[in-house]
């Protein structure tokens, strides 16, 4: 595992990372490039494209809608996910495995199938498409992530801690508030952040289930047809990238801090696996 093979592997690793970052690096490059065509050679530096974004009403609406949907989806799926994860970790009852398997199913179904599957009954029932239908769809696909993250949080909860709290005279509700919740809080925050990010970036379901109010990805899709809009899309992408990175770093920081507070070791992959 030393010497020559390690050298080649390092070269490969660098080359692979270049491949990964190739498109991403272009984002800020052309976001600040003063040209309407996204191609080399570069011309001068400008922040005009960001100003254009700032002035586009439709974009602001799309951002607002996306935030609304993402927050709602994150909260709802975290609550539902926590409830299921707690049930699975703490109690024994018939039908647990198939029920859990079913809740996790959206993870292995292609998004288009989920989108189409949700569309059909909505049409049949004559319901109208709106942000609420999008939220409903997002909750469905975010729930498995929430269950996975909170599953490991609840598994790690020692049952004798709950019993100790009861033994000391605390009620069930008090035990939840004073012992369980603080201990799974890192998982809750992680779940909220991850579900938020998933919903923010989700296109397929939003595309099929959206009414007149569009979310950000659907808005971007509609703009991709217009070549002149390209550079401002680059600017938008840059902003989204920076935002996501910040959110991710925050989520990771929270997770590590909370784990350290409990004297546990925080693993590198962060419990998501």
Partner 1 sequence: MAPGTSNSIILLDEVTRAFGSFQALKGINAEIREGEFFSLLGPSGCGKTTLLRLIAGFDEPTSGTIMIGGQPMAGIAANRRPTNMVFQSYAIFPHLNVAENVGYGLKTRRMPRADIAAEVERALAMVDLEGFGRRAAHELSGGQRQRVALARALVMRPKVVLLDEPLSALDRKLRDQMQVELRTLQQSIGITFILVTHDQEEALIMSDRIAVMFEGEIAQLASPEELYRRPRTKRVASFIGVMNFLPAGFVAKDDSGVTVEIAALGKVTLRLESIPTTLDPATIDTVGVRPEMFTILSDGREPAERSTPGTVVGTVYYGDMTYYTVQLAGGVEPVTISMRNTAGRSVLPSGSPVTVGWGAESVVLFE
Partner 2 sequence: MGLKLDTEARRGLLLLSPTAGYALVMLAAPLVMIVTFSFWTQNYLDIDTTPTLHNYREAWSRPIYRVLMFRSLRISLIVTLATVLLAFPIAYFVSFHVRRRKALWLFLITVPFWTSYLIRVFLWKVILGFNGVLNTALLEVGLIDEPLTFILYNSNAVVLTLAHAWAPFAILPIFVALEKIDRSLLEAAEDLGDGPMRRFFRITLPLAMPGVIAATLIVLIPTMGDFITPRLVGGTEGLMIANMIQVQFSRANNAPLGAALAVSSMLIVGVISLVICLVGRKLGGRVR
Positions in the binding site for partner 1 (CB under 8 A): 158, 160-161, 163-171, 174, 178-179, 182-183, 261-264
Q: How far is the CB of 175 from partner 1 (least distance, A)?
A: 9
No. of H helices and E strands in the chain?
Answer: 12, 0
- For residue 198, state whether it binds partner 2 (rule: CB under 8 A): no
Please give the Cα distance from 178 to 170 (Å, whole number): 9
Q: Which entry of partner 2, partner 1, none binds 268, CB below 5 to 8 A by partner kind?
A: partner 2
Q: Is residue 106 a contact point for partner 2 (CB under 8 A)?
A: yes
**What letter does residue 33 receive in the DSSP assignment?**
B
CA angle (134 as vertex; 23, 142 as ends), nearest 5: 70
Only segment of 12-20, 49-57, 173-181, 183-191 that touches partner 2 (CB under 8 A): 12-20
**∠ CA 225-227-233, rounded to 5°:** 85
Task: Name the minimum Å distance from CB 213 to partner 2.
Answer: 18
Cα–Cα distance, 255 to 19 (Å, whole number): 30
Task: Round to whole Å and give the CA distance between 135 and 255.
Answer: 26
Considering the complex, what minimum distance in angstroms separates the CB of residue 137 from partner 2? Answer: 8
Contacts of 111 (CB under 8 A, 6+ apart): 141, 204, 205
Quick one: what does residue 105 bind among partner 1, partner 2, none, with the CB cut-off 5 to 8 Å set by partner type? Answer: partner 2
The answer to whether residues 142 and 104 touch, using CB atoms and an 8 Å cutoff, is no
x/- track of binding to partner 2 for residues 37-76 (CB under 8 A): xxxxx-----------------------------------
Decide: 157 and 98 in contact? Cβ < 8 Å: no
Would you say 225 and 233 are in contact if contact means Cβ atoms under 8 Å apart? no
| HSE-up (13 A, CA, CB side) for residue 12 | 6
Binding of partner 2 by 132 (CB under 8 A): no
Q: Could you say which residues in the range 136-155 bind partner 2, by CB under 8 A?
A: 136-137, 139-140, 143, 147
Within a 10 A sphere around the Cβ of 42, how many other Cβ atoms? 12
Give, as ranges, the residues between 231 and 250 that touch partner 2 (CB under 8 A). Answer: 233, 236-237, 240-241, 244-245, 248
| Among partner 1, partner 2, none, residue 149 binds (CB under 5-8 Å by kind) | none
Q: Which does 72 bind (CB under 5 to 8 A by kind): partner 2, partner 1, none?
A: none
Which of 184, 195 has the CB closer to partner 1?
Answer: 184
Give the residue with the Cβ less far from partner 1, 148 or 180. 180
The interface region with partner 2, picked from 44-52, 56-64, 100-108, 173-181 by CB under 8 A, is: 100-108
């Amino acid at each position: 595992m030393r010497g020559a093979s390690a050298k080649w592997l390092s070269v490969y690793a660098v080359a692979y990372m270049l491949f990964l970052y190739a498109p991403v690096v272009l984002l800020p490059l052309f976001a600040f490039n003063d040209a309407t065509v996204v191609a080399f050679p570069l011309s001068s530096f400008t922040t005009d494209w960001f100003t254009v974004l700032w002035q586009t009403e439709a974009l602001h609406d799309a951002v607002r809608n996306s935030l609304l949907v993402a927050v709602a989806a994150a909260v709802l799926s975290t609550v539902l996910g926590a409830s299921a994860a707690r049930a699975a970790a703490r109690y024994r009852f018939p039908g647990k495995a198939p029920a859990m398997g079913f809740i996790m199913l959206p993870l292995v179904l292609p998004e288009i199938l989920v989108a189409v599957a949700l569309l059909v009954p909505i049409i049949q029932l004559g319901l109208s498409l709106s942000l609420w239908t999008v939220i409903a769809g997002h909750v469905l696909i975010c729930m498995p992530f929430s269950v996975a993250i909170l599953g490991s949080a609840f598994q790690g909860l020692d049952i004798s801690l709950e019993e100790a709290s009861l033994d000391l005279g605390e009620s069930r509700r008090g035990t939840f508030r004073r012992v369980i919740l603080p201990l799974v809080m890192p998982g809750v925050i992680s779940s909220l952040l991850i579900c938020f990010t998933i919903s923010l970036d989700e296109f397929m379901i939003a595309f099929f289930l959206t009414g007149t109010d569009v979310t950000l990805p659907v808005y971007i899709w509609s703009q991709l047809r217009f070549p002149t809009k390209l550079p401002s899309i680059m600017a938008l992408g840059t902003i989204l990238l920076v935002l996501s990175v910040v959110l991710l770093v925050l989520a990771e920081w929270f997770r590590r801090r909370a784990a350290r507070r409990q004297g546990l070791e925080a693993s590198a992959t962060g419990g998501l696996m």
